[in-house]
Amino acid sequence: MRTTHLIVIVFFAKFTSACAVQPKALRSNPDSSFTRKASVDLHEPPHGEEADLRQLKVEKRSAGDEKSDHGDNLNSVNVAGETSQQNPKQRNIDTNSGISDPWEGFNRKTHSINSVLDKYIVRPVGVAYDAVTPDPVQHSVTRFFGNLRGPSTVVNQLLQGKPLKAGRSVSRFVVNTTVGIGGLFDPASSLGLSREDADLGQTFASWGWRDSRYIVLPLLGPTTLRDATSMFGEQKLSPTSYVSDTALKTGLQFIQITNNRARLLATDEIRKQSLDDYIFVRDAWEQRRNHQLSKD
């Protein structure tokens, strides 16, 4: 029973992680104000992004009291000052996605189920957490879980034939784990050891498995066959998988899920403006993943 409980928790963690999407139209202008504010990396904000996220929350909370479809006071996000003036069709992304999606019928049904679960379970918890948790605490939690990805990053960088980057990642992990108190703080960045993530899906891509079919998994959300295959290996590389205390492991995973969802609240309004949420998420996920795979 405990094993089943843990599997469900891990699924929800992957589900919220997979929801980190960014509109295709905005990726063409990486310097736009929305890209800086609403492109949310679930593990750790890039250097300087914390201030942008705080500013986005201020704008979101002070712009008015318009009710969202979820029943929350979530105000529209200004997309480079133009979203509110565009035709709704202009706010939807290109439906001619380059990703292979032969199982669209199944994927759409699963996407709908995941959206309902998010609306009534995951998101409300994230909203409550965001309301009572100060931004500095949320950022520290994000850095903590981002730091836990250090071992996985090192292993995958070595598998990709990048020993120098792996060495820097080892140094970063050691500095932040010790001086940064388990990764709650990021002194490594001030020493020039910036964060560079690497995962098993990227490793498979570097070995030649570049193109893969798109699939939306129950609870897990959007992914590809390649990345879905890598999930089990990634779990084995996570330090939390070796925590023997079931209550502690479950608590850590719950905190990670909640913190991840809270950081995505800023993008909810953008998704609601899309004419087809499935296509929006699929294309945005593809854009984000291709960007990750294109990194040296």
Query: How many alpha carbons lie under 13 Å from residue 258 in its C-beta half-sphere?
Result: 19
What are phi and psi for residue 30, nearest 5 degrees? -65, -10
Q: Which residues contact 215 (CB under 8 A, 6 or more apart)?
A: 103, 106, 107, 222, 223, 224, 225, 228
The tens digit of pLDDT for each residue in 112-126 reads 999 999 999 999 999
Please give the pLDDT value at position 295: 76
Q: What is the DSSP letter of 44?
A: -
Question: For residue 224, what are the β-bridge partners?
Answer: 214
Please give the pLDDT value at position 55: 46
Please give the pLDDT value at position 230: 94
Alpha-carbon span 147 to 46, nearest angstrom = 13
What are phi and psi for residue 154, nearest 5 degrees? -60, -50
What are the sequence ranges of the domains in the chain? 2-293
The tens digit of pLDDT for each residue in 10-35 reads 444 554 544 444 443 443 343 343 33
Q: Could you say which residues of the chain have pLDDT below 70?
A: 1-97, 296
Q: Is 221 helix (H, G, I), strand (E, B) or coil?
A: strand
Please give the pLDDT value at position 113: 98
Amino acid at 61: R
What are phi and psi for residue 113, nearest 5 degrees? -65, -45
User: What region, left, alpha or beta, does residue 192 occupy, with left being phi > 0 and alpha being psi -120 to 50 degrees?
Assistant: left
